[in-house]
Amino acid sequence: MTTHSTVSKAVRRAMLLAAGATALTGFNAVAEDGVDDEVERIQVTGSRIKQVDIETSSPVTVITAADIKVTGETSVADVLNNASVNSFGSWRGMSGYGAGASATSDVNLRGLGSQATLILLDGRRMPGTSSSSGTVADTSSIPMAIVERIEILRDGASAVYGSDAVAGVINIITKKDFEGVEVTYTGEVPEVDGGESNRASITTGYSSDKGNITFTFEHYDTASVYDADIWSELGASSYSSSPNGKLADGSYYSNSDLCAQTPNTIDGTDGNNVGRCFYSYGEVTKLFGNVNKNTMLSNFNYELADNLELIGRASASLSETNTRYAGTPVSTNQPTMSADNALNPLGEDMKLYMRSAQTGERDTLTENNSIDMLLGLAGYVDVADGLDWEINAQHTRSTTNSFNENLINDNIIQDLIDSGEYDIFNTTGMSYEAWDAMMTDMYTQASHTGVYQGQFNSTQIDGLVSGSIFDNGSVSVAGLVGAEYEMIEFVQTGDPQSAAGIISGGSGGDDVDAERDRTSAYFELQSSLPGNVDISAALRYERYEQSGDIASGHASSTFSNTVPKIGVSWRPIDDLLIRASWGESFRAPNMGEMFAGEALSFERALDTVWCADNTDENYCTASQQHKTLYGGNPDLEAEEGDSLTLGFVWSALDNLSFEMSYFEITYDNKIEVVDVADLIREEQDSGSSEFIVRDANGQIDTIHSQYRNLGGLETSGFDFVTNFNQDTDFGDFSVKVELSHVIEYKTKAKADSDWFDEAGLQDKPQWRGNATLNWAYEDFGAAWATTYIGAQDSGNEEYGVTYLADIPSYFKHNVQFSYNHDWNGSVTVGVNNVFDKQAPTWYDGFSDYRDVNTGLYDVLGRTYFLTINQSF
């Protein structure tokens, strides 16, 4: 928290009179009232108007590069994931996810979804990922070496920054005006097998009396982590490399001799050669893939003339991620064996459950590449009381290419079975080796490499003007007006066979070919009033026109809205700031949510409808996979919401400060893909479902899900932050504590549904916090950082199940020691998760494959790291 100095109090009015435009410009305000000090105005996240005081009517968490170092985390994604306002954790790429999602990370403020959190780089939108139709930035693509600080705006800001800023804004501020050369290396080694990483960067900069240019390059690589090295239990799937046949009465048939000899299988027969053979897929899959990433960023500014500056930025990120999932289950179009097939062991029609493990696992190479270029002019015009202006052109291009090996063409498999040449169940009694070679030949003939390509292009032109509007000595008003126009194209395609729905093992079919134009106009006001009261106001009009191809032809939609925001702050005494802000928010559905075709997935859930009246110990489990097709919805409406924050900042002493903020967010028409478990519960409550297709035995055959506007979401809570610093003869100590509490998190599926409060249930912790203790003495330093996640109830009663576990409180501790040597460099060694705290699991009484929320918890255990920094 910032304590006001004499200078900052004196220029409180002056900074409003000469409000600047963006963080890229740097014209100074001169203090009035007899104070000669020249004070640089900065742009604080939450307003485009520059000011002196970092504390405004909107709550902002500032994480400096020094703060990041103390946490022990070595990536921007991990730093943000551990932030207390990232209430329920966020996505970290894992094997088994399509459209490039296995190679990205995001952030999810207040648990409202990554689509509701806007990520900025130096005040401008970052390139988005293909898996999000370009609307969600990949936080793992931000190199640590360029980060000067991270500012997290903890309330809605659609009126200031536009659509998507519903839950808040994260602004990554990069290093500028850097001179010299700085080289940094960080290596990490977990105690589990795999996960070793290396991060090396070089930053260089040059300044003259006309300007500055800064360039940063960072290389990052990490080894893959296999599921078998993480989970105590790997689980078993109903799809086997030693095939199972399902009969009309619901019973199964498999060859137990084959099952016993096939690697990674579990014989589930009853001794009479009638039953199922299970495949333990977790024995071969990667949880996290191996990554190789190179990132470059350059900032520059150059004075063309008095009061005229050329500004620019260029960045590029190139990454390759190799993930692995188990051999393909032949299940998109499940093969069958007719009763009259000469190799049918029972002479009855049966549905076949098969897995192509003989031809190897599904290895996927994902290439994510993005470029971002900005060029602008900023200046000052001596008109009236002076006007600052800026105009920019920005182009962003993000591409994803994914190559998924060892998929299966269902039509070929069915033709080979019907030919009568392939003895699936070894009815002829050949040796295992001969049978295995035969199955390898069959799967090889049907083998397919899935190809996914996604491309997001954005071109934006924007400009703004700011300056003083009114000043009579006791009241001053500064204003800003601006406009933006953006043209966006988004295309994602799978290979034709996958798009046609005849390929198993991939997620093809979610093709998108769409475009959108965004037009925005906005203004802001900042007013300083007598009695140390400041009032801010913003209003923004935004219009989206988008169109795209759908199965029935072509569709188009227009979304527009005008959203306001107002904030008030009051300093009754110099060391106490009381503040409040309220604003409305608006988010148009993105192009994938509206226009994507159906994509295939296999989701785990307990079929509470069938299992309420039937018994099948294999089917009636929480890990049972169900064939699920996800698709877009061209009839979506825009999301709308509003947020309220109230709070105070108190500098109790020169070295002690407190901040408390209350937040309340209402989110209507929230766009979500409905969870499979929720669809099953809806069917259970209503007695039927248009989204669930069941087979003749009543078990789930296929689930169809799509993006829907839910009835609404309401959440509230508070944030608490305190900082304490103390200088002693034994060194300088600093303590920082952040704590967030979710009072309620209520959702309803439809407008006429009842509210359901999930706060405190599994995966929705009510408490999250961080604490750091830092010590520095001469050239030595040490730090202790703790991450806290509160306990959660199982939710068994609320969800109508019995198998979920209560989740205990979780503490993770990171420790580090550093030394600054005489050659202008430093060495830091540390241990993350020093006590090797194990992540809690979802289920009560049993463990399963991937039964931990990896978005919330650390699953790699104790990890050692070394950082070497050298400046020249």
Measured between alpha carbons, how far is 314 from 394 in angstroms, rounded to an integer?
10
Measured between alpha carbons, how far is 592 from 594 in angstroms, rounded to an integer?
5
What was the pLDDT predicted at 13? 33
What was the pLDDT predicted at 599? 75
What letter represents residue 478's amino acid?
A: A
Tell me: pLDDT of 49 over 80. no
Query: Is the CA virtual torsion 30, 32, 36, 41 positive or negative?
Result: negative
Measured between alpha carbons, how far is 63 from 107 in angstroms, rounded to an integer?
15
What was the pLDDT predicted at 655? 93
Tell me: pLDDT of 125 over 90. no
Average model confidence (pLDDT) across the chain: 87
Measured between alpha carbons, how far is 377 from 486 in angstroms, rounded to an integer?
18
Residues 6+ apart with CB under 8 A from 573: none
What was the pLDDT predicted at 851? 87
What was the pLDDT predicted at 42? 56
Burial status of residue 872 (CB atoms within 10 A of its CB: 0-12, 13-18, 19 or more): exposed
DSSP output for 290-351:
EEEEEEEEEEEEEEEETTEEEEEEEEEEEEEEEEEEPSPB--TT--EE-TT-TT-SSSS-EE
DSSP output for 73-116:
--SHHHHHHTSTTSTT---B--TT-TTTGGG-B---GGGS-GGG
Q: What is the pTM of this model?
A: 0.86
- The CATH classification number of 39-235+281-326+361-381+511-871 equals 2.40.170.20
Q: Where are the beta strands (DSSP E) in 349-386?
A: 350-353, 362-381
Beta bridge partners of 28: 40
Taking the domains of the chain in order of start, what are their residue ranges?
Answer: 39-235+281-326+361-381+511-871
Residue with tokens 């390929």: 503
Candidates 165, 132, 118; CA nearest to 673 is: 132
Tell me: pLDDT of 190 over 90. yes
What was the pLDDT predicted at 5? 33
Q: Mean per-residue pLDDT for 649-663? A: 94
Confidence of residue 7 (pLDDT cuts 50, 70, 90): very low
Q: How many CA atoms lie within 13 A of 527 on its CB side?
A: 17
Candidates 316, 320, 280; CA nearest to 102 is: 320
Query: What is the per-residue pLDDT across 368-390, written as a single tens digit (0 to 9) for each?
Result: 899 999 999 999 998 878 899 99
Q: How far is CA 504 from CA 252, 350, 440, in A?
A: 22, 19, 16
For 231-240, 456-465, 591-600, 854-863, which range has the lowest pLDDT when averaged over its residues? 231-240
What was the pLDDT predicted at 36? 43
Q: Mean per-residue pLDDT for 550-567? A: 89
Measured between alpha carbons, how far is 539 from 480 in angstroms, rounded to an integer?
11
Count of CB atoms situated within 10 Å of the CB of 687: 7
Measured between alpha carbons, how far is 112 from 744 in angstroms, rounded to an integer?
13
As a whole-number percent, the residues of the chain with pLDDT over 90 amount to 54
Query: What is the per-residue pLDDT across 192-240, written as a single tens digit (0 to 9) for each?
Result: 999 999 999 999 999 999 999 999 999 999 999 999 898 877 665 666 7
Confidence of residue 1 (pLDDT cuts 50, 70, 90): very low
What was the pLDDT predicted at 54? 60
What was the pLDDT predicted at 51? 57
What was the pLDDT predicted at 663? 96
Tell me: pLDDT of 448 over 90. yes
Query: What is the per-residue pLDDT across 293-314, written as a single tens digit (0 to 9) for each?
Result: 999 999 999 999 999 999 999 9
Collapsing DSSP to helix, strand or coil, 498 comes out as helix
Tell me: pLDDT of 46 over 80. no
Q: Mean per-residue pLDDT for 99-117? A: 83
Residue with tokens 């037009």: 519
What is the helix (H) or strand (E) element at residue 497, kind and residue range?
helix 496-499
What was the pLDDT predicted at 331? 85
As a whole-number percent, the residues of the chain with pLDDT over 70 amount to 92
